[in-house]
Structure 1
Amino acid sequence: MLQKTYINKSNIKEKSGIKITLKAEKQILKLIKKNIDCIGIKINIKKSGCAGFKYTLNLIYISKDSDIMFYYNKIPLYIPKKKWSILKNTIIDYFKSGLNYNFTFYNSNNIYHCGCGESFNIK
């Protein structure tokens, strides 16, 4: 079941259409610092699940010409050029749910989520 989370808008900083909460920013910076050869974080979507797509967030070690790169404060972000129109309004949050911590993605381009909340479809 999809859990509704409310975001404190004062904790969000925006660069080039991507928004990251302070909690997510701190966690991403920790992940990058732990992995010495990492050059940044790649935000992407892939076909998955019953609704169509799933967000991915990965450490990257080699940049590609097919990616847009910009800095969100100290975080180097990489986004595939072909996916930019879908991802540009995304808010990334990091929160605790029970015993687990998760990155969560919010995007005004999403039409709906599947019942389990793992995948989504876009306009």
Structure 2
Amino acid sequence: MFAMPGASPVTITPAAERQIARLMAGRDAFGLRIGLKKGGCAGMEYTMELAEAAGANEEVIEQGAARVMIAPMAQMFLFGTEIDYETGLLEAGFRFRNPNVTDACGCGESVRFEPIAGSRAGEG
């Protein structure tokens, strides 16, 4: 929907690709759906869920054995995002390096985007 010809709307690091493929195989899922919802101290939160099929108008990105679907309402906010998976001593999880974020909370769970003309998408 918001893709440029020949360019993926998001990039997936090799570490994220391996983790997504593991999750898909463990649940026999079609892919990992990524979206956004209102919430958190900065206004919006990323959502992730394993899905059995792609929904209407979802952008589907396939890389190796990994498949990511981007919910239609999140596509414009996620364009240009790098999805990574990091493992540390105390925690492990997906990280979104999103050039569209204008502010984030201290814990990194909530983000804010610049409002789009005629919408309230950047407000929390």
Contact 2:17 2:65 in 1 (8 A): no
* Equivalent residue number for residue 51 of structure 1: 42
SS in 2 for 1:31: helix
* Equivalent residue number for residue 31 of structure 1: 23
The structural deviation recorded for 1:43 is 1.1
* Equivalent residue number for residue 6 of structure 1: none
1:77 counterpart = 2:68: yes
Distance 1:54 1:65 in 2: 22
TM-score, normalised by the number of residues in structure 1? 0.79
Deviation sequence 1:8-64 (CA, Å, 0-9, x none)? xxxxxx95121111111111111111112x111111111111101111221101332
Aligned residues: 109
1:118 counterpart = 2:109: yes
Structure 2: runs of 5 or more not aligned:
1-5, 115-124
Q: 1:15 to 1:57 in 2, by over 3 A?
A: farther
Distance 2:9 2:60 in 1: 13
Would you identify which runs of 4 or more consecutive aligned residues in structure 1 move more than 3 Å? none
Q: 1:72 to 1:88 in 2, by over 3 A?
A: farther
Query: Aligned Cα RMSD in Å?
Result: 1.8
SS in 1 for 2:82: strand
Give the share of equivalent positions with the same residue, in percent.
Answer: 33
Q: 1:76 to 1:96 in 2, by over 3 A?
A: closer
Structure 1: runs of 5 or more not aligned:
1-13
Greater strand fraction, Structure 1 or Structure 2: 1
SS in 2 for 1:120: strand
Distance 1:82 1:60 in 2: 17
* Equivalent residue number for residue 18 of structure 1: 10
Q: 1:42 to 1:104 in 2, by over 3 A?
A: same
Distance 2:47 2:107 in 1: 17
